[in-house]
Amino acid sequence: MIHFVGAGPGAEDLITVRGETLLKRADVVVYAGSLVNPAHLARTKAGCDIHDSASMTLEQVMDVMIPAAKAGKTVVRLHTGDPSIYGAIREQMDWLDAQGIDYEVCPGVSSFCGAAAALRAEYTLPDVSQTVILSRMAGRTPVPERESIRSLAAHGSTMVLFLSSGMLGKLSAELIAGGYAPETPAAIVYKATWPDEKVIRTTVAGLEQAAKENGITKTALITVGGFLGDSYERSKLYDPSFTHGCREASR
Ligand code: SAH
């Protein structure tokens, strides 16, 4: 069996209990070395065969995992954050399906959740935004035109941008062209939940300068929107005058 496992955003104790159990059992681990905290590898048993996929192709990853799975070994494919977000797992799963090899996915804590924790923020504030857009600037991987930052920005919702910290001048321009005021609050979260995590609060217009001043070029998320500001409405859920399935209004 092959297990795709989300390693979480960085901190070594932010892997799930299930993910840790699988790592402890694994005979073979293929981990995304560019972002997965190597401390997770200390959980593996003696003799575990460990590969860093950073320098491997899809073909090479399959050449390691498939023979191991066929030999009845437990294989863990360890991805950063949650594997469903920019994890390139679909192409691996399709390959395994074509070979008739079974697999499972164990979710992880995505870095966008780690970033909210670092910011001590709530992405979905009543009266501010009830929507979180996860996206990225087009890089070598293109983004469909209908999902350009400019068009997504028109919603004025909370936005979390992955894989974009090397293009912040362009990102700001696109966000502003889409409708965010230049002074809309924004934050850069570098290495969320890692020991060297950095949180930089700025504005949409100030993103590039803020990253430059702090020497940040990668492993960062950009968060944008009124959720980083000071005004919002209280929730209905905990409002004394609001009745719902689990509680009668008390006044
Ligand atoms: N599957 C991952 C995302 C992989 S794409 C997840 O769920 O988080 C890689 C991008 O994710 C990086 O370029 C960066 O934008 C972001 N990222 C991953 N880990 C991060 C962290 N700890 N802090 C900030 N950004 C992170």
Q: Record the tokens describing residue 52, joined without a space.
A: 């860093």
Spatial contact of 49 and 27, defined as CB atoms under 8 Å apart = yes
Of 170, 191, 190, whose CA–CA distance to 201 is shortest?
A: 190
Q: Is 26 in the pocket of ligand 1 (CB under 6 A)?
A: no
The CATH architecture assigned to 2-106 reads 3-Layer(aba) Sandwich (3.40)
The topology (CATH level 3) of 111-228 is: 3.30.950
| pLDDT given at position 170 | 97
Residue 240 carries which DSSP code?
A: T
| pLDDT given at position 231 | 87
| Residue to mutate (ligand 1; options 14, 35, 79; most atoms within 8 A of CB) | 35
| pLDDT, mean over the chain | 97
How many A from CA of 167 to the centre of ligand 1? Answer: 15
Residues 6+ apart with CB under 8 A from 240: 249, 250, 251
Condensed to tens digits (0 to 9), the pLDDT of residues 161-186 reads: 999 999 999 999 999 999 999 999 99
Q: Is 96 in the pocket of ligand 1 (CB under 6 A)?
A: no
| pLDDT given at position 25 | 98
Atom of ligand 1 nearest to the CA of 189: 24
Q: Break the chain into its structural domains and give their ranges.
A: 2-106, 111-228
| pLDDT given at position 207 | 98
Residues 6+ apart with CB under 8 A from 73: 27, 28
